[in-house]
Amino acid sequence: MHGLGNDFVILDARARPFDLPAPAIAAMGDRHRGVGFDQLITIAPATDADITLLFHNSDGTEAGACGNGTRCAASLILAETGKPRITIRTAHGLLAAETLPDGMVRVDMGKPRLEWDAVPLARAMDTLHVPLAAEGVSDAACCSMGNPHATFFVESLDALDIARIGPLLEHDPLLPQRGNIGFAQVLAPDHIRLTVWERGAGLTLACGSGACATVVNAVRRGLTNRAVTITMPGGDLMLEWRADDHVLMAGPVATSFTGEFPVG
């Protein structure tokens, strides 16, 4: 499945639980020799929700959250159950998802974490102004949406060599668990253009949790309204950081194909 080109392999482990080792996940994630994906998502049983979702990056490492992937997996369960709304257990907490009248799927991604040790950063500092820097960018705003995000607000995305500076910033010592690096150009108080270098996946066409982090950081900086359309290379997501501190994200989902892959 994919959400705006942010693509996923989704496995259903509710009836028969299994645990794939990191090398098997990386083999499946190889776009030349495997299937290829930004994240692998496993649907597992839950005792306090409709499902549990587990996330892995294409390099086999675990991911704490995945916004577009959550919307994709939620769409399957919403269609399967016929429920108007479902709950999802993730490492980031209990999330809610629903199908909107226009067919888009909206997920309540919960509350952002703004404390330095929740991001996490390597030492105590103001998360609104973090001294991360690379050629063409400096002064990041950081938060956690279940995974660490650093957002740089820039005058022009087209002037940046994101493929070069993205991995340098991902591995900066200030980000001990590495980071998802967002490069955001504010076009209007309700419109942001965004490109994200994802931890463990690289450049993606869209990043849901990155879009959530971007609207949070933009509002904290006084750059935008709380309701924003975020345009990424793959298309648009609709974001709202509500007054109750919850971040809502809505957008389209699509199924590319179903199939089998030998992991042995």
* 72 annotated active-site: no
Binding-site entries for substrate: 6, 39, 57, 67-68, 147, 180, 198-199, 208-209
In contact, 39 and 90? CB cutoff 8 Å: no
Q: How does strand 227-232 pair with strand 191-198?
A: parallel
Q: Which of 142, 143, 207, 212 is catalytic?
A: 207
Residues 6+ apart with CB under 8 A from 76: 1, 10, 43
Binding-site entries: 6, 39, 57, 67-68, 147, 180, 198-199, 208-209
Residues 6+ apart with CB under 8 A from 258: none
Distance CA 38, CA 205 (A): 10
Task: Output DSSP code: residue 113.
Answer: B
Q: What angle do CA 106, 55, 47 make, to 5 degrees?
A: 75
Distance CA 207, CA 237 (A): 9
Residues 6+ apart with CB under 8 A from 62: 54, 55, 56
Strands (DSSP E) found in 155-190 = 180-188
* 66 annotated active-site: yes
Residues forming a β-bridge with 44:
52
Instruction: Compute CA distances 213 → 14, 149, 182, 261, whole Å.
Output: 30, 6, 9, 34
Q: How does strand 39-44 pair with strand 85-90?
A: unpaired
Nearest CA to 52 out of 29, 83, 77 is that of 77
User: How far separated are the first and last CA of the chain, in Å rounded?
Assistant: 23
Q: Which residues carry out catalysis?
A: 66, 207
